[in-house]
Amino acid sequence: MKYGFLPFWAVMLSVLIGCTGMSSQTSNNTTIPITVLLEAHQCQFQEIVASATWVRKAEHLDFSLAQQIKAAHPNAIPWDSDTLGVLVVHMGRQPTGGYRLSLSVPVIEARRGSGVVNVTRHRPDIGAIVSQALSSPCLVLQFPYKDLKSLRVHDQDGRLMAEAAVR
C-alpha cells in the first residue's frame, strides 16, 4: 500500500515538469504590431516575381517610394533605425491595373528570430475596367524588429510569397 502512492507522485511530478516546459516553449512566441505606411498600385519595381526587401535606414529607401510614403505619413520618415525598420513587399509585375496587396493580419507572428507577415493578394474582378498597362503593386510595412533575423511573407492561401533577411 505504501508503494501505491509512489507511482502516482511520479506521474504528477512528470506532468508538472512537462507543463512548465511547455510554458517556456510558448513564451518564445511573440506578436509584433505592424503599421502600414503605404499600399500602392504602382511602385516602380522591375522584379517580375514577388519579393520582400528589408530596409533598416530611411536613406536606403527608394526615392519615389519615400515620396509616396511622405505624402501619406509626413512624420514616418526618417524613423529610429535602432528600433524600427521597414519591409517592402512587392507583388511582382502584373499585366494590368487592378492588382494590389493588403495586410491580412496587423501583427507579425514571431518565434525564435523568425517572423511571418500575412498579406492578401487582390486581383481585378472579371470584367472590371482596368488600365491596360503593366503595374507593380507593393505594400510598405513598418515595425520594431528587435530579435528578428528573418521574415517570411505568406499570402491568403498560406503560400510562401517572399522571404527577407533582417539586418
All residues at 6 or more sequence positions from 38 whose CB lies less than 8 Å from its CB, including other chains: 65, 68, 69, 72, 73, 138, 139, 140
The residue written with cell numbers 516602380 in the block is: 44
* Per-residue pLDDT, 27: 55
Q: What is the mean pLDDT of residues 84-108?
A: 95
Whether the pLDDT of residue 91 is over 90: the answer is yes
* Per-residue pLDDT, 9: 46
* Per-residue pLDDT, 46: 76
Q: What does pLDDT average to over the chain?
A: 85
All residues at 6 or more sequence positions from 54 whose CB lies less than 8 Å from its CB, including other chains: 85, 86, 87, 151, 164, 165, 166, 167
CA distances to 2, 28, 30, 78 from 39, rounded to whole Å, are: 70, 31, 25, 18
- Per-residue cell: 120: 492578401
The residue written with cell numbers 517570411 in the block is: 152
Whether the pLDDT of residue 145 is over 70: the answer is yes
* Per-residue pLDDT, 37: 95
Say how far apart CA 27 and CA 165 lie, in whole Å. 23
pLDDT in tens, 57-76: 999 998 889 999 999 888 88
Whether the pLDDT of residue 6 is over 80: the answer is no
DSSP 33: E
